[in-house]
Amino acid sequence: MTDAKDQNEAIRQLLAGIKGFRARYYERRPDSMRQLVTEGQHPEVLMIGCSDSRVDPALLTQAEPGELFVVRNVANLVPPYQPDGSYHGTSAAIEYAVKVLKVSHVIVLGHAQCGGIQGLIRLRTGQATDDDFVSPWVSIAGPACDPYIAGTSEEASQGDIDRLQQFPDVVERAAVRASVENLMTFPFVRERVEAGTLSLHGWWFDLETGDLWSIDPQTKIFLPVE
Amino acid sequence: MTDAKDQNEAIRQLLAGIKGFRARYYERRPDSMRQLVTEGQHPEVLMIGCSDSRVDPALLTQAEPGELFVVRNVANLVPPYQPDGSYHGTSAAIEYAVKVLKVSHVIVLGHAQCGGIQGLIRLRTGQATDDDFVSPWVSIAGPACDPYIAGTSEEASQGDIDRLQQFPDVVERAAVRASVENLMTFPFVRERVEAGTLSLHGWWFDLETGDLWSIDPQTKIFLPVE
Amino acid sequence: MTDAKDQNEAIRQLLAGIKGFRARYYERRPDSMRQLVTEGQHPEVLMIGCSDSRVDPALLTQAEPGELFVVRNVANLVPPYQPDGSYHGTSAAIEYAVKVLKVSHVIVLGHAQCGGIQGLIRLRTGQATDDDFVSPWVSIAGPACDPYIAGTSEEASQGDIDRLQQFPDVVERAAVRASVENLMTFPFVRERVEAGTLSLHGWWFDLETGDLWSIDPQTKIFLPVE
Amino acid sequence: MTDAKDQNEAIRQLLAGIKGFRARYYERRPDSMRQLVTEGQHPEVLMIGCSDSRVDPALLTQAEPGELFVVRNVANLVPPYQPDGSYHGTSAAIEYAVKVLKVSHVIVLGHAQCGGIQGLIRLRTGQATDDDFVSPWVSIAGPACDPYIAGTSEEASQGDIDRLQQFPDVVERAAVRASVENLMTFPFVRERVEAGTLSLHGWWFDLETGDLWSIDPQTKIFLPVE
């Protein structure tokens, strides 16, 4: 948080960035953007990433405009299929990507030092939370967390809490696995996966080392890539 | 959608991109990333953008890791404040950004050629829709659309439909305005806006020309920037 | 200049940069580099720039590999045509670009705060110089400097010296103009310019403001671009 | 070479690139450029590269403005020390980098598919050449080439010629080695190298694979990096 002058500075810099984008993509190399405008987007990949400012899907993968259809929410979570008519932003994006854009891949991208997963750990170990939306939202991955604590959240021992806070990455990866599993509860996802036209991927980016881990298709275990 | 060989190619390219990211941000210029790891993220801006692959907030604003906390959903929508304990991904991200990260700015970033807004126009003009999540989700901005059609969706004339499909940008901008207004229904947002520690912004990016429009704080009208 | 540890650090960072280049141009987006390898280079532009680390032609123009054939020397100078069999690096590059690569443009790119031009001013105002190569080299542009001092270097008044040191940009631009004129002493350049297949350009980049100036084809005067 | 319309297009694109540079380095992230303007340049590295458009030192090493003082000429050659008062562009840049800027490193950067080295091979194998400057210039590296042909250029057998044209990379690397050796003929270079304040490096970039080779300090043999 900054004072009024710096506030304007942040906005001014973003506007300068857009000016640079316009110079680059509309004047310097207009071909690809022009094609994206006249022919529409045809991304092959839906990436479901975290809102965390340090793990930007486009920067991380050096993507150009048009390559990635992106959902970003707290803790890169996929809720289960619930077609109840209420507002489901992530599910709507998955539906649009899979049914309208016909992407070939859905990647759930988790990462180290995830604040949302910290919130989940606090929640499931019985620590006090004080929010309207974060706790209900991250509870999507609650069942994924439970195997890593001895009992229920009410009964979590201090040892459980310490261990989880020391090794939150096991929960982060379990949450990615849970989101990939939730993807399979969407009929239009399952159908395409079983038909071989859609692949699901679970990735976890180690913010501290820059290494990427991914779920091995056979063993379902996270392994470092390369 | 591509055949099996190309499918693997898309993933292989993303992995190569991450290798390049690691070379750049962990080896070539490790200082900023190392600081983001040891001190955590301190973004000044929450940007709520569309999942559309052509309008990536980081690319568009030439942001570096750590600068933007980002939500991306279909049509960059903010639902109204509904603390009912169900899964509200966008609201959770807004809460985290405002209450935990204490951002100074929230920017709703709309854009031209928005597929989600096309869906909304179809929905509100009584055309057939066939989806589980997209229609309910985009209906968040429904009231913003209504002033631009003569009557209710049941009664929409062909002229109404034609006009909206020809000028969807008025609906796109109305939807941004509606999302900014919905932000003010969150008590923790309103409180900070009224205290002067948080600013709300409504932007619309003209994908065809590269121009940015923003809501003028006085008149509430969208004006081209610069 | 740095101590031994930092010395190695500088090299280590360049090697990391090359690793990133390889990831980007050989793995992430291999098409353009592969084409440059199999079909050879076909740049349309020869750019003759300064060795100054702050004015890199590729960075300044956001060029990709293959776009610019580049000469860089102290003060972006073009010597006159002297086919005497001795070592003429800049002339060899001009010959190769024009006769072998058949570029369509030659751009001489000068800039503000040029250390080479500072050396020229010292030289032509009778100040002591102590070097083997810089003074003879920058004397290429000596005649371009003379109109801006009252008399010969031996007679330069303190006022002359002060004025030139205060407004070195007039000399920097005069030197660009002189280099463009020297280009026309090369028969193979003149021939193509007169045939309309080669264009010569004189640019000056204002390092302090980021503005570019270029020689107006009609008046031969430097004018700001845009 | 292009027609008149495309000619203007090439220039227009470079100007758009400069506009993007200005947006990025003067508006989006002005700090580093502002410092380079007020404090002057302090590069640690002089890089002597080829004019070839595919091997740009800044792009290849992902350098930012201010990092590399750069000479670019045909075949990245360093002539021997000849303080005879005539125009020696490369020597002037070396002198400026070493004596004024006090760089810690000089890197000679060669590369595969070097047109200048092809010219040298033609020259030393007695093939016809028809130029004013390229042949004299590349003859700087002539002695480096000779060990790889059986006799003098007059006597080169067709086998010699074929072998060299098939494996020009041995000559490219020999030429880099010769340039590094020529650097040591400059008293102000030798003095600093012997004092341990300046390091010399010979690199060769394999354009076909993206691999970098460098001269091993002990054995003087080129080895792949990593």
The ipTM, to two decimals, is 0.94
Provide the pLDDT for residue B1.
38
Which residues from chain D sit within 8 angstroms of residue A16, using beta carbons? 23-24, 27-28
**Binding site membership of B: which residues?**
50, 52, 111, 114
Which residues from chain A sit within 8 angstroms of residue C28, using beta carbons? 62
Q: What is the DSSP string of chain C?
A: ---HHHHHHHHHHHHHHHHHHHIIIIIISHHHHHHHHHH----SEEEEEE--TT--HHHHHTPPTTSEEEEEETTS-------SSS--HHHHHHHIIIIIS--SEEEEEEESS-HHHHHHHHHHTT-----SSHHHHHGGGHHHHGGGSSS-GGG--HHHHHHHHH-HHHHHHHHHHHHHHHHTTSHHHHHHHHHTS-EEEEEEEETTTTEEEEE-TTT--EEE--
**Binding site membership of D: which residues?**
50, 52, 111, 114
Nearest in space to C90 (alpha carbons), one of C15, C16, C182: C182
Closest chain D residue to C45, measured at CA? D10
CB neighbour list of residue C92: distance below 8 Å, 6 or more residues apart: D73, D74, D116, D133, D134, D136, D137, D138
Nearest by CB: B24 against D24, D28, D62: D62
Closest chain C residue to A21, measured at CA? C62
Asked if residue D102 has pLDDT above 80, the reply is: yes
Provide the pLDDT for residue A124.
86
CATH of domain A41-224: 3.40.1050.10
Provide the pLDDT for residue B85.
87
Q: What percent of chain D has a predicted confidence (pLDDT) above 90?
A: 77
DSSP helix/strand/coil, D69: strand
Please answer yes or no on whether A10 and B132 come within 8 Å at the CB atom: no
- Which whole number is the average pLDDT over B124-136? 89
Say how far apart CA D165 and CA D77 lie, in whole Å.
20
Size of interface C-D (CB pairs under 8 A): 281
Answer with the residue of higher pLDDT: D171 or D149. Answer: D171
Backbone angles phi, psi at D192, to 5 degrees: -75, -35
Provide the pLDDT for residue B2.
40
Residue C1 pLDDT class (50, 70, 90 cuts) = very low
Residue D2 pLDDT class (50, 70, 90 cuts) = very low
Asked if residue D189 has pLDDT above 80, the reply is: yes
The strands making up B222-224's β-sheet, listed across from edge to edge, are A222-224, A211-215, A199-206, A105-111, A45-50, A68-73, B68-73, B45-50, B105-111, B199-206, B211-215, B222-224
Provide the pLDDT for residue A5.
53
Residue C203 pLDDT class (50, 70, 90 cuts) = very high
**Which residue positions in chain A have pLDDT lower than 70?**
1-7, 149-156
Answer with the residue of higher pLDDT: C200 or B152. Answer: C200
Size of interface A-D (CB pairs under 8 A): 36
* B70-B73-B77 Cα angle (round to 5): 95
Provide the pLDDT for residue A203.
98
Asked if residue C205 has pLDDT above 60, the reply is: yes
C87-132 pLDDT per residue, tens = 999 999 999 999 999 999 999 999 999 999 999 998 888 887 889 9
Provide the pLDDT for residue D154.
60
The whole-angstrom distance between C13's CA and the closest CA on chain B is: 5
Please answer yes or no on whether D58 and C59 come within 8 Å at the CB atom: yes
Within its chain, how far is the Cα of C216 from the centroid?
A: 18
Size of interface B-D (CB pairs under 8 A): 4
Provide the pLDDT for residue B128.
79
| C-alpha separations of A184 from A26, A79, A105, A181, A199 in Å | 39, 11, 13, 5, 11
| B118 at interface of A, judged by CB pairs closer than 8 A | no
Answer with the residue of higher pLDDT: A35 or D159. Answer: A35
Residue type, C153: S
Asked if residue C225 has pLDDT above 90, the reply is: yes
Q: Are strands D68-73 and D105-111 parallel, antiparallel or unpaired?
A: unpaired
Backbone angles phi, psi at A110, to 5 degrees: -90, 180
Residue type, C136: P
| C31 at interface of A, judged by CB pairs closer than 8 A | no
| A22 at interface of C, judged by CB pairs closer than 8 A | no
C163-193 pLDDT per residue, tens = 777 889 999 999 999 999 999 999 999 999 9
Here the tokens at position B153 are 């969706």
Backbone angles phi, psi at A174, to 5 degrees: -65, -35
Answer with the residue of higher pLDDT: B211 or A128. Answer: B211
The whole-angstrom distance between A43's CA and the closest CA on chain D is: 26
CB neighbour list of residue B69: distance below 8 Å, 6 or more residues apart: A51, A52, A53, B41, B43, B45, B46, B47, B93, B96, B97, B101, B103
Nearest in space to A43 (alpha carbons), one of A17, A65, A26: A65
Which residues from chain D sit within 8 angstroms of residue B62, using beta carbons? 24, 28
Within its chain, how far is the Cα of C124 from the centroid?
A: 21
Neighbouring chains to B with at least 3 Cβ pairs closer than 8 Å: A, C, D
C24-61 pLDDT per residue, tens = 999 999 999 999 999 999 999 999 999 999 999 999 99
Say how far apart CA C46 and CA A192 lie, in whole Å.
52
Which residues from chain C sit within 8 angstroms of residue B23, using beta carbons? 16-17, 19-20, 23
Please answer yes or no on whether C56 and D71 come within 8 Å at the CB atom: no
Which residues from chain C sit within 8 angstroms of residue D25, using beta carbons? 210
Q: What is the DSSP letter of D175?
A: H
Residue B124 pLDDT class (50, 70, 90 cuts) = confident
Asked if residues D98 and D46 have their Cβ atoms less than 8 Å apart, the reply is yes
Provide the pLDDT for residue C173.
95
Q: Which residues 51-80 on chain D approach chain C with CB closer than 8 angstroms?
A: 51-56, 58-74, 77, 79
Residue B195 pLDDT class (50, 70, 90 cuts) = very high
Least confident among B64-73, B131-140, C159-168: C159-168
CATH topology of domain D42-224: Beta-carbonic Anhydrase; Chain A (3.40.1050)
| D142 at interface of C, judged by CB pairs closer than 8 A | no
| D28 at interface of A, judged by CB pairs closer than 8 A | yes
